[in-house]
Amino acid sequence: MSDKELRVSKIKDGTVIDHISGGYALDVVKILGITGKENRVMTIAVNVPSKRFGVKDIVKIEGRALNSQEVNRIALVAPHASINIVHDYHVVEKLEVKLPKVIEGIVKCVNPACISNSDEPVVAKFYVKAEEPLLLKCHYCGITLDRADVLQQL
């Protein structure tokens, strides 16, 4: 790397979400519920050149690990992301993002008439019909949602 190139620093402890498709880092941050007001150091790199992907995004969150539910959420918006847990500057664990077959309580149905959008105590539930491109089918009304529908409600 030459002096002219901008370089994102390594972190001491925390989580690096790497290989996010170019332009999707902010969606990843959003689906994790991170607002930037958490008093934590975070680095977001968007559209950086990548040998494997052309361009990619990276999110580095210092001092925080992700739980498995958060890893699954990331799969909704960044199915190719790799998650690296860093301790004392070393990558100690690599987690694979994996979309569960059934998604409950994260995504809302787009059909206003769906029972999951009524006053009934019904938690929205979707079956993952395809991962790439994303296709979710509502358990209750059968309507399908794509990635744009999911991104729109983040």
Q: Does 82 bind ligand CTP (CB under 6 A)?
A: yes
Residue 18 as a binder of ligand CTP (CB under 6 A): the answer is yes
CA 142/CA 93 separation, integer angstroms: 38
Select from 11, 20, 25, 77 the one that contacts ligand CTP (CB under 6 A). Answer: 11
**Least separation, in Å, of the C-beta of 60 and ligand CTP?**
5
Q: Is residue 141 within the footprint of Zn ion (CB under 5 A)?
A: yes
Alpha-carbon distances of 33 from 27, 37, 38, 106, rounded to whole Å: 10, 11, 10, 11
What minimum distance in Å lies between the beta carbon of 11 and ligand CTP? 4
Shortest approach of ligand CTP to residue 31 CB, angstroms?
A: 20
